[in-house]
Amino acid sequence: MLWTPAGGLQVLGTAFGYEASQAYGVSDGGSVVVGDLMRRLPGGYWDTAAFRWTPLGGMERLPDMGGRSSARAVSADGRIIGGSVVVGGMQRAAIWRDGVLHNLHDELSRELGLGEVLVEVTAVSRNGRFVAGMGGRGLERFVFVAEVPQPPEAPQLVAIWPIEGERERAMISWAPPSGVTHYRLQSALDPGFTFGVSTLEFPAGPYNLLPVGAPMWDGG
């Protein structure tokens, strides 16, 4: 539920396939609410999925990595959401920037000590620049505070041209911004990046070539 001075008490509801929802964070003015969608699995266990609710968009399940997810906090403007996702059976700290998922543990892995993992984000600063949460080292637990990694400068598009004989795909080339050494590309089979998500990482060269377009389907 959400209560605001202007709108009073409002039931946020849930999403298709889920039985209940629980809110954990709200932006300034109540324009964005975040929390967990919940459903009971066989055996009595509960499955959770992170959600974002807005007055215009309603209840929206946030992208995950194929397992459970949870949203625990949000910045004042609603753009940065903090929580966790399950990756390969392991819980990892995560943020969603403008609805796009980022594995915070992976993005900050170079700053971690041997055996340290970032498990969950539980707080986001008002301006969305810093997050705090819980990490682990074996059986030990620790609290962390981290600066949210800023998105790199966008690559400069050099050229785009069609691939001969293919109507739905094209080739693009681009030059990396200064200081960029690697690229991580993500694709999905739906606009919300919740189904068929795949990731490709490769070194950044002076110029880069990549085919893009709709996935090929032969009907088999």
219: pLDDT confidence band, cut at 50, 70 and 90? very low
pTM: 0.70
* 22 C-beta neighbours (distance < 10 Å), count: 14
Residue with tokens 């709200």: 26
What's the average model confidence in pLDDT over 85-92? 94
* 162 C-beta neighbours (distance < 10 Å), count: 12
- Helices and strands counted in the chain (H then E): 1, 18
From residue 156, give the alpha-carbon distance in Å to each of 1, 129, 184, 206.
Answer: 44, 26, 16, 11
pLDDT of residue 184: 72
Q: Which helix (H) or strand (E) holds 107?
A: helix 104-107
pLDDT at 39 over 70: yes
pLDDT at 58 over 70: yes
Q: Which domains are assigned to the chain?
A: 2-147 (2.120.10.30), 156-213 (no CATH)
User: What percentage of residues in the chain have a pLDDT greater than 90?
Assistant: 53
What's the average model confidence in pLDDT over 44-71? 93
